[in-house]
Structure 1
Amino acid sequence: MTDTTIEQATAAASGAAATEQFRSKQRMETADVDIKRVDTLVTELLTAAHDIIRRHKVTYAEYDALKSWLIQVGEDGEWPLFLDVWLEHVVEEVANENREGSKGTIEGPYYVVDSPRLAAEATLPMRDGEEGTPLLFQGQVTDVDGSPLAGATIEMWHADSDGFYSQFAPNLPEWNLRGTVVADDTGHFWIHTIEPAPYQIPTDGACGKLIAAAGWHAWRPAHLHLKVMAPGHQRITTQLYFKGGEHVADDIASAVKPELILAPAPAVNGTGREVTYDFVLDKA
């Protein structure tokens, strides 16, 4: 990765890209709004905030600092980052608490729709000489009864060996390390890629100021993002981590679950590593 890429992968640029991707997704999805539920949720949220102010006797100086910070989050375009890092893991937990199949976790702010469709055995789009340890990620998609789901789709995206995502950092090809693999007639797939690196969420914007003020770290462990779906079944959105990797035990986004930790072994062909991970989808 060039110095230019590292210098220009700013919070503002990443935030703007994440905000635009979210808005694009919202234009494709519609949801009914229950007025009574909105009233309940917003009232309880405000009541909780009022309780915090009273219990901790928040001063006007602290209140003004909060107001200034909230304004800065918007100006930096970091609302998707803030919400996905600190709130989404609880929303995901509640939304999927009754699933019988594979575990999910957060989507995060760096998903992009319509990645290139690839065959059941495929290599994710990448640059010539892409740096990183080669990884074969393989498995099968079935339903909860064990029946193979022919033609299931497995969307994968992840950071490169420097911790950057295509379309969210400059100087990367548009679909670098992003693809949608179509499983074969037995639900099997074989995805060739490289192992991603741990990365810091952007720290030069409002979220970074919060992290510094609270004395937190800004790191996410290395992970693969996946969305797995098949007609008539519930889609799984998940992330898979690497056993023994940095920050698996203290992910800033609190998204790691024991079921989502991979333990790759040396590849049979002698190049890089490989791992098998199967997905089980609940019926819709």
Structure 2
Amino acid sequence: MTVKVSHTAEIQSLFNEAAGLNNDQGSPRAKQILLRLINDVAKIIEDLEITDDEFWHSVDYLNRLGARSEAGLLVPGLGLEHFIDILQDAKDAQLGLTGGTPRTIEGPLYVAGAPIAEGEVRMDDGTELDHATVMFLDGVVRDTDGKPIAGAVVDVWQANTKGNYSYFDQSQSEYNLRRRIVTDAEGRYRARSIVPSGYGCAPDGPTQECLNLLGRHGQRPAHIHFFISAPGHRHLTTQINLSGEEYLWDDFAYATRDGLVGDIKFVEDVAAAHDRGVEGERFAEMQFNFELQKAPAAQAEQRSNRPRALQQA
């Protein structure tokens, strides 16, 4: 027989006290959120008859999750970051804010302050050219009326051939595979990079531990992240997943969306490679254009204040 006491006056008084409702200090918003969270956790404990062992193993799991800095990895893995995107899509539709390139999850691996250049950049440091495939990425940033946007900033970051990101992977050079590109007068950006690799959660980490309990894998297809911004336009957080990838529509982080698949083409032509400054005969090309909505307010031009690496940059 399930015993429930969370609704009683005694317990509600306890939770109100714990959430700071009995004082005038602190943050009213934090109190509101924590009171709801405490009550919801209490109801889970009651409704699912959580045992003491299950409760304290969960507490230990949260400790280990934080120690490995994997909370930002587990959140998309549980569909919550994708849910926030879908919720914002619904709010936009209600306000009549439609069109433009779809948003999708940011993920936890952005680093602020990447080198910035006009029109065209090289993203990789050349250390993987003995086995990497050179990739040429280009496109145009337009508004929803099809007009090119000059001076837009294309902030792009990606993994290397091992599925690792600079800064978090100390073996890579500073800002390797991270750049900001200012679009030219025709709204165009160009980048020489390398084809990134997909990757998976660390097999010994707490995120994969949770996924194992759910019978799920922790793999992502190869992809490239973008922030796109321009005065008078809504900031766009998105990423393109590369066509042909095994996990393209089975991304554990739920980032793949219609309209966000990059059609990568591999070329094997010695003369064409030579013309593009590539040794050997094989390289890849991918074109991807972006459309930005008009900003309904100045605040919409800025990305969220989510804590990020080198936030001060």
Q: Normalising TM by the smaller chain, what interval? A: 0.7 to 0.9
**By how many angstroms is 1:221 displaced?**
1.1
**By how many angstroms is 1:96 displaced?**
4.1
**By how many angstroms is 1:121 displaced?**
2.2
| Correspondence for 2:82 | 89
- TM-score normalised by length of structure 2: 0.73
Residues 238, 59 of structure 1: alpha-carbon distance in 2 compared, 3 angstrom cutoff: same
8 Å Cα contact 1:85/1:108 also seen in 2: no
How much identity, in percent, do the aligned residues show? Answer: 30
Unaligned runs of 5+ in 2: 1-25, 93-97, 274-281, 296-313
Residues 245, 215 of structure 1: alpha-carbon distance in 2 compared, 3 angstrom cutoff: same
Residue by residue, what CA displacement relative to the aligned partner does 1:114-158 show, whole Å, maximum 9, x if unpaired? Answer: 101123122213234433222221111111122211011111111
Which stretch shows the higher mean deviation, 170-179 or 201-210?
Answer: 201-210
SS state at 1:207 partner: helix
- TM-score normalised by length of structure 1: 0.80
RMSD over equivalenced CA pairs, Å:
2.3
Which stretch shows the higher mean deviation, 95-104 or 141-150?
Answer: 95-104
| Correspondence for 2:251 | 251
Q: Does 1:276 align with 2:287?
A: yes
Residue by residue, what CA displacement relative to the aligned partner does 1:65-91 show, whole Å, maximum 9, x if unpaired? Answer: 111111222222322332344322212
**By how many angstroms is 1:41 displaced?**
4.7
Question: Highest relative contact order (Cα 8 Å, sep 6+), 1 or 2?
Answer: 1
Instruction: Tell me, in whole angstroms, the C-alpha distance in 2 between the residues paired with 1:217 and 1:129.
Output: 28
- Which contiguous aligned blocks of 4+ residues in structure 1 show a shift greater than 6 angstroms? none
* 1:139 aligned partner, one-letter code: G
Decide which structure has the larger Cα Rg and report it: 2
Instruction: Tell me, in whole angstroms, the C-alpha distance in 2 between the residues paired with 1:65 and 1:214.
Output: 16
Residues 205, 266 of structure 1: alpha-carbon distance in 2 compared, 3 angstrom cutoff: closer
Instruction: Tell me, in whole angstroms, the C-alpha distance in 1 between the residues paired with 2:40 and 2:242.
Output: 37
Residue by residue, what CA displacement relative to the aligned partner does 1:242-265 show, whole Å, maximum 9, x if unpaired? Answer: 222021222111111121112222
| Correspondence for 1:126 | 125
Q: Does 1:230 align with 2:230?
A: yes
Residues 77, 258 of structure 1: alpha-carbon distance in 2 compared, 3 angstrom cutoff: same
SS state at 1:65 partner: helix
SS state at 1:139 partner: strand
**Number of residue-to-residue matches in the alignment:** 251
Q: How does 1:38-49 map to 2 (within 5 A)?
A: 38=30, 41-49=33-41
**By how many angstroms is 1:40 displaced?**
5.4
Pairing partner for 2:71 from 39, 56, 79: 79
**By how many angstroms is 1:52 displaced?**
3.5
**By how many angstroms is 1:54 displaced?**
3.5
| Correspondence for 1:208 | 208
